[in-house]
Amino acid sequence: MQKKIPTIDIKKYGGKQVAVVNGRIVAFGETTKEVLERARKKTVHSQWKEILLITVPRGLTVVYRL
């Protein structure tokens, strides 16, 4: 099962951790612990495996899918 990843604004989330559930950003912050706690509070009915944690780079990074 491939998870949906939304377009993430580098200006807003650059250098931060972002939690994504069902293709939506549900929480962000400086530390993994902080972000996971916020994500669990906002998505009470989601399981841990449904939360995708992404570290957003500070600058522009190009990712190619082959």
pLDDT tens track of the chain, all 66 residues? Answer: 567 788 888 899 999 999 999 999 999 999 999 999 999 999 988 888 899 999 998 877 677 776
**Block residue for tokens 């949906």:** 4
Alpha carbon distance 21, 36 (integer Å): 11
**Block residue for tokens 């989330």:** 13
For residue 38, the surrounding DSSP H or E stretch is helix 32-42
For the question of whether the overall pTM of this predicted structure is more than 0.85, the answer is no
Helix (H, G, I), strand (E, B) or coil at 66: coil
Give the pLDDT confidence score for residue 2 in this predicted structure: 66
Give the pLDDT confidence score for residue 47 in this predicted structure: 86
